[in-house]
Homo-oligomer: A and B are copies of this chain.
Amino acid sequence: MARSAESTRQRILAAAYVLFRQRGYSRVSMDEIASATTVTKRTLYNHFQSKDQLLAAVLETQNELALAAFKTFGDQLTGSPSAIVDGLFRDLAVWADKPRWAGSGFTRLVIELADLPGHPARAIARRHKAQLETHFGDLLKRAGVRDAHRRAREIWLLSEGAISLMLVHGDRTYAAAAAEAAKRLLRGSSR
């Protein structure tokens, strides 16, 4: 083996994710990714066959990371259903308040590629969102919510809607409105 081997691959994946999340897929070039990783374009192509496959690998990696992060986050939330919802949307508001926030990388990329149903990135993003929704449903169930997975889906709808509308309007009070609605939905669903 020579030099760093596997770590180079990780550096590429990390740099590519930052760029893709920030500016989407088409408007990020391979030269740019190479430059951000301080690596030659040739090295990029030694690790990934094409730009599309790089994107797929990036999403796969981020799926694992985000899922792990969400599970840790969920384990911290052990209070009432209302507290869980408040925590979820508070985190959303904080996240959306970052200077150059551009929404969920997954959603953003899927919407950019919405006319390419066969793109590998879409299957990964789909699985990702499904896993998050399911995990959130488990969380609500553990907190004693009736019809937990149905409520989880509804709250997830509110959360995705808030992301969209905050992006369009730049108005992060949508997170608070979504939180209020979510708590209204939970009312009368405590077991």
Copy number of this protein in the oligomer? 2
- Nearest chain-B residue to A130 (Cβ)? B169
Interface centre among A23, A162, A165 (most CB of B within 10 A): A165
Query: Is there contact, CB below 8 Å, between B129 and A100?
Result: no
A residues 87-121 near B (Cβ < 8 Å) are 100, 102-103, 106-108, 110-112, 114-115, 117
**CB of A127 to closest CB in B, whole Å:** 10
Chain A window 105-145, contacts with chain B (Cβ cutoff 8 Å), 1 for yes, 0 for no:
01110111011010000100110011000000000000000
A residues 147-171 near B (Cβ < 8 Å) are 150, 153-154, 156-165, 167-170
Query: Is there contact, CB below 8 Å, between B165 and A160?
Result: yes
Query: Is there contact, CB below 8 Å, between A168 and B115?
Result: no
A114 interface neighbour in B161, B167, B177, Cβ under 8 Å: B167
Query: Is there contact, CB below 8 Å, between A24 and B103?
Result: no
**With the chains together, A103 CA to B160 CA distance in Å?**
14
With A102-B114, A112-B24, A115-B102 as contacts: A161 and B167 at CB distance below 8 Å: no
**CB of A179 to closest CB in B, whole Å:** 10
A residues 75-90 near B (Cβ < 8 Å) are none
A58 CB–B CB distance under 8 Å = no
Binds B, one of A7-15, A33-41, A66-74, A180-188: A180-188
A161 interface neighbour in B122, B161, B180, Cβ under 8 Å: B161
| B residues near A26, Cβ cutoff 8 Å | 24, 26-27
Query: Is there contact, CB below 8 Å, between B111 and A167?
Result: yes
